[in-house]
Structure formats: structure tokens, C-alpha cells
Structure 1
Amino acid sequence: MLEQLFDLVQQNSQQAVVNNPAVPNEHNEEVINTLAGSITGGLQEQVQSGNINGLLGLFGGESGTSAASLMNNPIVASIATNAIGAIVQKFGLNSQVAGNIVNSVLPGVLGAVIGQLNGQGGGGVQGGGFDIGSLIKMGGGLFGGGNSTGGKDSSGGIDLGGMLGGLFGGK
């Protein structure tokens, strides 16, 4: 499913990255990879810091899916800050250009993931989207999940690490 996230970043990056004269064409793919890495890294940081309720709220759509509401979410704001810093550092773009790229791409990507996880936009496994059932079954990968209990931890609760691991570590 990491490929699906990368595909969403690519789809949402056409105007902000590829058609952006401030981004040299030879860096387009690297900027897109940096954005995807910042998203997965930011989500991993949230899991490692124990912000499970924040992630459940984000992926449950509690913050909304509009660009403005998503960018006001503290998790998304943290991911954005890290992505802007990475783009400035790696590619020498000024922070305003990097901010415009991130503010253009990040809400679209996360909005699509949230919509697909919540059954909007026709995104099931068969449609190539994100499906909460498959996330629960997959586990493993980026967040170190991976269990044989169908996404439930040993106490009977939901294993968000395993669910998100399936999203970002499985295929």
C-alpha cells in the first residue's frame, strides 16, 4: 500500500511540483519522494510517541477533509513542517516555495486516504484504494506491527501500529 500512497502523492504533485518553474525538472521525482517520505515518517513519529487517539481522529475524519481543516490538525501541521524543512534542506528551495508545495500536496493526499478509509471515493482493495479491513489484516512494515490477531492487540483493542503498518509497509 506504500505504492498507493506514493501514487497519491504523484497525482497531487503535478501542479505543485512538476509544473512548478521553481523546481528544476531533474528534482521532480526526488521532491515527490521526499514528500511521501515525510508523510510516512510523520505518521511513524506519531505512533512512536503514542498519539494513537490523534491518529484515530485524523483517519476517522474528525478534523474534516478540507485542505484548511487538515492543515489545522496538529499531526498534519507537524508533517508539513518536517516536509518543508526537508525540501529546503535537500533541494535549496526557499521556504515559501517549499511551503506552497507542501500546502498544495499534503491535504489532497491525506484527504484522499481519509476518504478512502471511510468508504468515500470508491476506494476498496479491488479499486486500488485504502480499505480499513485490509489494513487490520495486514500489519507489519513501517510501524513494526504484524500480528496474527486480525489487527487486535493482545488486550482486545485495535492495533493501530499494525493497521498503519499495512498501509505503509505492505503491498
Structure 2
Amino acid sequence: MPVTSAGLLLHHGRGADAHVLIAHMGGPFWARKDERAWSVPKGIVEPGEDVATAARREFAEELGVPAPDLPAVDLGAFRYSSGKVVHVLAVEVPAGIVGSPDDPACPDLTTRPGISTVQVEWPPRSGRRLEVPEVDRAAWVTLAEARRLLVAGQQPVVDALESAT
């Protein structure tokens, strides 16, 4: 059975003014990468957990702030070439959130208390383990930028958002 993750994609604006919040993956492997190194804040759906609950929990764990308590639209499930499935929900937020104290975007998430971390072996095959943040920053980007930055398996999420809004 494939691994299933759930993610929450915040967005604001319409057409050319549309922006989404995406997160850059943490750790030394991703440190110098930009294109295809970003993701919708997401994580594994625990046994017995519904997708919406998992998406909101993972958002808070990865970004260190609670997900906005606003209605979510189901964008669908997206299958990676590896077989992993990511179920994405979209939440429209007011544009005024950008730059406000409630803005989940952050140029350095390592400064936020409570963000989730993961153990990685670095350098590869060295036996040395490092604890790194799952994501190290989050930013609002245009839909065109999101298509360029998101990992390949999540690029169709942008199309789904455009169709849903």
C-alpha cells in the first residue's frame, strides 16, 4: 500500500495576483537547491486520521504556527512516480495576512520554536546522523514560480488550484 501524505496549500488572490505558500525542504541535501526543492507543507496521514486533520497537523508541525481556521477545498490526491500519494487541501486566506503577525511565511523557520525535525545521514553513507528541520523556510510565490519550485510530483497541484478557484 502506498504511503499517503496530506498537505495544506494556502493561497490568496486571483489570476495574475494569485500566490501560494510553499516551503523549502530542510537539511544539507536541499541547502543549495531551489528549483524542485519546495513543497506544499505536508506529512504522513497517521492510521485512523482523516486527511483534513493530518494536513492541518502537519502544517503546524512544519511551519511552527497553526493552520488558519478557514474552510478548505479538496484539490485531490496526487501520485508521485515513487507511488507515494499526496492529498492536498487548499485554504484561501485574505491577502492582508501577508506580512502580518499571523503570516506563516518565514525566511528562516529554524528560529521558530516547535518546528518538526528529522534525522538524516550526512554526508551520505558516513554513518553520521544530523537532526535538521523538515522545512527551513516558507514563502509566498506566484503560481508560475510555484510550478518552477515545487517538486515534480506536486506541480499538478497548481493546475488543480487554478481549476478550483
Length-normalised TM-score, structure 2: 0.29
Larger fraction in helix = 1
Q: Which structure's residues are more often strand, by fraction?
A: 2
TM-score for the superposition, normalised by structure 1: 0.29
